[in-house]
Structure 1
Amino acid sequence: MDLFSAFTDLERIPLPGAEVYYQSSFDIGLPHDVILKRLIDEVPWRQQDVKLWGKTFKQPRLVAWFGDEGTAYRYSGIYLSPLPWTDILIGIKRRVESVTKNKFNSVLLNYYRDNNDSMGMHSDDEKELGHNPTIASVSLGAERPLLLKSKRIPESRTIKIVLASGSLLIMKGETQHNYRHGIAKERQAIGPRVNLTFRTILV
């Protein structure tokens, strides 16, 4: 029986070798615009340096890492030490856990300030996340398409999932082994977006 079959609002995206679920309207307890503004105003955002191909670049977005004690996260030459949970993040986490039936001990926040901010294609396959991690992503603000591309079949087409404000996306199983995902820049001006990706760091 599918883990999420009891949740009729969750749609499974038909991707071979992946378990991806999407819910366009997820109850986060407060209006989306209220939470979005609070996160933008209250989170201590950082713009990290990323090392790729021997060169250092500024990340084209702002980030913040929250979690339990000892849940440090490393990727692309970046080391993130967890900030303590806030009430608003704990509230969203509990709602996400009730749907996914999964416990999370950390969350990565990405702040896309406008259409020029982006996230390169990648897989969340760091050893701290375990072999088949479950990652739950809540989006707030401007709609942005999530791109998914098979790593096993390079000639396959890129899948686009438009992430609405207040939506929940779940990636689990072998998704990170078989796919890369990312957020591309947009040509037209758009408003801000904050994305919360809940994870479990093995400690």
Structure 2
Amino acid sequence: MHRLIRTALPLTASLIALSLPVHAALLPMDNQSLSEISGQAGISIRADVLATVREVRWTDDGGHASLRNVKIDNGCLTPASCPNGSGASFAFGAAQLGLTLPIFGVNLPTLKVDVVSNASGLQQLQLTLPDLTSINEQLVASGIPAQRIRVRVAADMYIGESRLGSIEIRDITDLRGTFKVWGH
């Protein structure tokens, strides 16, 4: 009996401690604080997307225009549509929105998020797209084919119920951009 009490008492106390509410405060962190904790100044986000959307519709004064059967993928529908540069091809799959070239040490995310300070010291949130344009300029100058972000967005276009045709966007080779966001 005493052995059961000696075993059950610490176990019961542990369970009670685990069930007590725990409060933790989320504190804002600037770029310096973030880099001190993780060794990184910001975060990198890689998004590969495979999606189907039935309809995107815009309505005005009773009429509407729409995109139907919207597909987002890498566009590799046949082996010839996505050669990989070494005689083979990429398989059909998710849109690869970042760029990875391991042989050159390039691993660009879809989006980089950083906290930066402007000339007056005001902190800003900076969103940076991959600099695909500069990389491709260097590759082409070296005789290497340009790399592309493998993405295809395809849809059928409609005005009301009348089909106008289809639209397709694919294979981004020129892309770079930075957005900064701050309060006033």
Q: Which has the larger radius of gyration?
A: 2
The structure with higher relative contact order (CA 8 Å, sep 6+) is 1
Q: If the length of structure 2 is used for normalisation, what is the TM-score?
A: 0.25
Q: TM-score, normalised by structure 1?
A: 0.24
